[in-house]
Amino acid sequence: KKSETLLSNYKKPDGSLSIDGIFTPNESTAFAVLRVLQDNGWAGKVRFVGFDASENLVKGLASGQIDALVVQDPINMGYLGVKTIVAHIKGQPVEKRIDTGVRVATKENMDSPEMKDVLHPDLSQWLKP
């Protein structure tokens, strides 16, 4: 609802938006904005960059309703988190900030092996009973 209210402030008399682009900083706001854009017929008519990925956001990317997704690698984030805490417990020095890396997924590169790994991570190899 808040995304709809926010975007309604930029609605022109003809029903289109008076802005050129939107950036959302996380998955939940990206999905909320995508829904508002879809519901109002604005999807694909304004540049839209989201952050993180979910099934719905990846579908939006594939259909051209989202121009790009800034995505993180959850496997690498988990690995670096565990590695850092183990080093800390052992009394070893650790970095104050650790860049876990991001990638920018677009409709054009989303099917590359590198992007598939972060857009559709195969968690089965890591989550064994």
Please state the pTM of the whole predicted model: 0.83
Q: List beta partners, residue 17.
A: 11
Structure tokens at 12: 């022109």
Please say if the pLDDT value at position 125 is more than 80.
no
* Per-residue model confidence as pLDDT tens digits over 16-61: 899 999 999 999 999 999 999 999 999 999 999 999 999 999 999 9
Q: Where are the domains of the chain?
A: 2-72+101-107
Nearest Cα neighbor of 97 from 75, 80, 74 is 80
pLDDT of residue 2: 75
**CATH number for the domain whose boundaries are 2-72+101-107:** 3.40.50.2300
pLDDT of residue 127: 77
Query: Helix (H, G, I), strand (E, B), or coil: what is residue 57?
Result: helix
Whole-angstrom Cα distance, residue 46 to residue 42? 7
pLDDT of residue 93: 97
